[in-house]
Structure 1
Amino acid sequence: MKTKERAFKYERYHIPNVAKAISVVRALSKRPDGMTRSQISACTGFSESIIFRILYTMSDYGMVVKNPDKSYSISKKFVSIAYDAVSGENLVLAARGLMNEIRDKLLEPVMLGVLSDEAVIMIDQSPGKHPFGFIGKIGMRCPLHSSAPAKAILAFLPDGEMRAILDRIKFEKFTPKTISNKKRLLTELKIARRNGYATDCGEYLIGANCVGVPIFDYQKYPVASIWVTGPAERIPAEIFPKIGRMLVRKASEISEKLGYEK
């Protein structure tokens, strides 16, 4: 079903096919598992012939990929370009060395992500050193209500912005421990803000625990988060505070590289 278009200030100057391509990108961004041409057509209200031309143009430029089931998804190249445009590369460079230091101490993977409309998107990682562990993919999405990296950012957003985001969350259930309502999430965010770090104890993946902290820019705004994730037996809840304190110290150093001053 076609979504209602917003009013635009410079609409009379718009190039129709560019506007349609943007609508296609927005539709695909909501479905990381991919969409078929007919699904995109139903979502945007555009004919399948228009969708066909847009997708093939974007495919030639490497902006979308065609999956084995004939659905289409936004490409890693697209994600990379998007985050370069918002200084994602500078953020990665500022964080990578300190992420490696954390990884070398804990031996678990350390990941870096930024807030998108409906998730935190992973943009870099330091792979763990255990023979068996978690490996994320660039572009991996971490749900807002059930992941430490997302809660770490939400907890430090301006109150109005944070509540507006919470109003849009659908609270999808991933495990029996997934937070299922706004009231409980608000309580978690208050705890995270007080402690300086957020946690996820099997809320997104059964048997996986996670601790995350925010990274701030020169405006004291939480632009990203770093987090450690691993099996519950290696990262039990009892050591969350220890990991949290370590992450807070390292994240503070990253924030300083981005111009943050206490």
Structure 2
Amino acid sequence: MSVKSAVRVLQIFELLSNHPDGLTVKEIARGLSLPQSSTFNLVVTLFEEGYLQQDPLKRYKLGAKLIQIGTAAMDSMDISSQGVPYLKQLMDGVQETVFMAMLSDDQLVYIAKIDNNRSIRTTAQPGSRKPLYCTGLGKAFLAFLPEKERSRLLDRIQFVRFTRNTITDREQLEGQLTYFTELGYAIDDEENEEGLFCLAAPVFGADGVIKAAISTAGPKDRMLKRKAVIAKQLLHTAEKITESIGGHAKPPEQREDV
């Protein structure tokens, strides 16, 4: 069921996208056949939040905040479309479920999942969100992000225990992240879901900053038996996806400068 106010906001964006010189509130209301009073309230709210801008003639145009959102969406689609063929190859090679995820605010959002015919049940699905501190993909971001961004995210974490293995101590987590940086990939040892063991590696953009992470996940016993082989294929795939989007890994000593 659609929400009327949300639909109207989207209609305003679409209308203004066709009028780069901007429209007044009256023109927006007339163009969408909406009451001027309610249109005014929506437009002012969008303006105050940075989604619209206003010129000296009180005409409203699309705002800078939408550029950030659009850029993030383009990055997501580009990385996903570029990465999926490599993820399929990885799944064929390791015979385990493969994921790709991106950072969304202070959480992880899954953008791709390639199932194997012996996939285990998991709550992770494309579009779903999970915490950073207790997932392999999330810890890959925390391990390979620039130092300032990592600290900002760690400051915002509210540790919740999901399993008996969930790390709920910041100092312990930071020690683990240092190890993962040296290792080249992150590990989730049944920390978010019982029985699920995960290895995750970073995908870097053209600026040398992590843009996405990929992982392989499966039952712990099965994953541990082939951990070295899986890790090698995972890192190779992450490198291939990085190359495909024109990216490169920035040396750790330079990451705090970003």
TM-score (norm 1): 0.66
Change (3 A) 1:141 1:250: same
In the TM superposition, residue 231 of structure 1 has moved relative to its aligned partner by 1.5
Residues in 1 aligned to 2:185 and 2:196: alpha-carbon distance in whole angstroms: 17
Q: Looking at CA atoms only, which structure, 1 or 2, has the larger radius of gyration?
A: 2
Among all aligned residue pairs of Structure 1 and Structure 2, give the percentage whose two residues are the same amino acid. Answer: 28
- 1:143-185 alpha-carbon deviations (Å, 9 max, x no partner): 1110000111111111111011101000111011101111011
Unaligned segments of structure 2, at least 5 residues: 1-24, 26-39, 49-68, 250-258
Within a 5 Å distance, the mapping from 1:14-163 to structure 2 comes to 16-17=41-42, 85-130=73-118, 132-134=120-122, 136-163=124-151
Change (3 A) 1:19 1:229: farther
Change (3 A) 1:115 1:242: same
SS of residue paired to 2:223:
coil
Which amino acid in structure 2 is aligned with residue 114 of structure 1? Answer: M
Does residue 259 of the first structure (1) align with residue 249 of the second (2)?
A: no
- Between the two proteins, the alignment pairs up a number of residues equal to 192
Residues in 2 aligned to 1:87 and 1:246: alpha-carbon distance in whole angstroms: 24
Residues in 2 aligned to 1:103 and 1:19: alpha-carbon distance in whole angstroms: 49
Which amino acid in structure 1 is aligned with residue 108 of structure 2? Answer: V
Q: 1:164 aligns to what?
A: 152
Residues in 2 aligned to 1:168 and 1:149: alpha-carbon distance in whole angstroms: 18
Residues in 2 aligned to 1:213 and 1:93: alpha-carbon distance in whole angstroms: 18
Residues in 2 aligned to 1:22 and 1:118: alpha-carbon distance in whole angstroms: 25
Q: 1:175 aligns to what?
A: 163
Higher helix share: 2
Change (3 A) 1:139 1:22: farther
Change (3 A) 1:176 1:260: same
Residues in 1 aligned to 2:80 and 2:181: alpha-carbon distance in whole angstroms: 24
Residues in 1 aligned to 2:147 and 2:153: alpha-carbon distance in whole angstroms: 10
- 1:12-55 alpha-carbon deviations (Å, 9 max, x no partner): x9x643575899xxxxxxxxxxxxxxxxxxxxxxxxxxxxxxxx
Residues in 1 aligned to 2:209 and 2:168: alpha-carbon distance in whole angstroms: 27
Residues 119 and 218 of structure 2 are in contact (CA less than 8 Å); yes or no, is this contact kept in structure 1? no
* Residue of structure 1 aligned with 2:180, choices 192, 202, 206: 192
Aligned-residue CA RMSD in angstroms?
Answer: 2.7
